[in-house]
């Protein structure tokens, strides 16, 4: 009888010890997640790209949006410098195109709230999540990395249409800026060229066909716009096209 009591007591102590170890590992994992995600929350998602693996689709989209923001700044600077007395960057269609950028962020709280249990593994931890997925924490190159499951990356496929539209917007702004600069176009002509190309893109992706500022520029078919920009691999191609089309530098056509 006594031997049975000792056995039961031993099992209880073992169970409590295992429970304590599990809670300890979970607490350690939570702290790692919080410390790692603090960079994202204070400096922006792109700052912690090296530490968040397995969600490539998200960062492809975010990097493109960052590039578009820089292009908008470049366009605004060009207009201020080239047309200093004409009201700055006030293109209605370009303003509407800002809706292609979706505010996406991940926080430590979002991840931590889903952790059911944690266990140590080689070079890190394995986190069992409430949705049945598995997130890994890995210590590599003197820093922690959070490795998300494929299912998480798949969720970001919803940004695909915004990404494709963003790529087209990037090409449109780059080409029309080069064209305006090389040909010395007026601000009105630059707005017209940008707006006519962007309007069908916004209608397709954001269904803005009823917005007055968009309807005014709906003259081109989306396939026509796509076909035109598909010819360019980079800005050098764009410059060569303008030079050849307008027979530069012997003549400038506006």
At 153-175, the pLDDT tens digits run 999 998 899 999 999 999 999 99
Q: In total, how many domains does the chain have? A: 1
Asked if 199 and 217 count as a contact pair (C-beta separation under 8 A), the reply is yes
Residue 199 lies in a domain: yes
Phi and psi at residue 138, to the nearest 5°: -130, 135
The alpha carbon dihedral of 145, 150, 151, 154 has a sign of positive
How many Cα atoms occupy the beta-carbon half-sphere of 224 within 13 Å? 9
91: Cα separation from own chain's centroid: 24
Domain with 97 in it = 6-245
Residue 252 lies in a domain: no
- The per-residue pLDDT for range 127-161, each reduced to its tens digit, is 999 999 999 999 999 999 999 999 999 999 988 99
Number of H helices, E strands in the chain: 10, 5
Residue 117 lies in a domain: yes
Residue 52 lies in a domain: yes
Asked if 40 and 48 count as a contact pair (C-beta separation under 8 A), the reply is yes
Distance CA 63, CA 187 (A): 29
Strands (E), the chain: 52-53, 115-121, 124-129, 134-140, 143-147
Residue 253 lies in a domain: no
Residue 1 lies in a domain: no
Residue 254 lies in a domain: no
Q: Could you give the C-alpha distances from 32 to 28, 37, 245, in angstroms and in order?
A: 6, 8, 57
In the sheet that holds 124-129, the strands lie side by side as: 52-53, 143-147, 134-140, 124-129, 115-121
Higher confidence at residue 80 or residue 8?
Answer: 80
- The per-residue pLDDT for range 17-72, each reduced to its tens digit, is 444 446 899 999 999 999 999 999 899 999 999 999 999 999 999 999 999 999 99
Residue 87 confidence (pLDDT): 81
Residue 202 lies in a domain: yes
Residue 22 confidence (pLDDT): 65
pTM as predicted: 0.83
């Amino acid at each position: 009888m006594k031997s049975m009591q000792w056995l039961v007591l031993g099992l209880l102590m073992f169970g409590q010890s295992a429970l304590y170890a599990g809670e300890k590992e979970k607490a350690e994992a939570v702290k790692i997640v919080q410390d790692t995600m603090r960079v994202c929350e204070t400096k922006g998602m792109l700052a912690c790209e090296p530490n968040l693996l397995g969600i490539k689709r998200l960062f492809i989209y975010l990097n493109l949006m960052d590039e578009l923001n820089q292009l908008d700044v470049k366009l605004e600077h060009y207009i201020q410098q080239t047309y200093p007395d004409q009201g700055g960057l006030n293109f209605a269609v370009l303003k509407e195109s800002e809706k292609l950028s979706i505010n996406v962020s991940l926080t430590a709280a979002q991840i931590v709230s889903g952790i059911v249990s944690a266990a140590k593994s080689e070079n890190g931890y394995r986190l069992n999540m409430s949705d049945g997925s598995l997130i890994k924490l890995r210590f590599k190159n003197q820093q922690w990395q959070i490795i998300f499951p494929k299912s998480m990356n798949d969720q970001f496929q919803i940004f695909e249409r915004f990404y494709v539209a963003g790529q087209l917007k990037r090409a449109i702004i780059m080409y029309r800026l080069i064209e305006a600069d090389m040909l010395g176009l007026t601000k009105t002509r630059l707005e017209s060229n940008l707006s006519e190309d962007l309007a069908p893109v916004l209608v397709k992706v954001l269904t803005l066909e009823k917005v007055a500022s968009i309807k005014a520029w709906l003259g081109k078919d989306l396939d026509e716009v796509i076909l035109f920009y598909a010819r360019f691999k980079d800005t050098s191609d764009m410059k060569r096209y303008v030079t050849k089309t307008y027979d530069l530098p012997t003549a400038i056509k506006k």
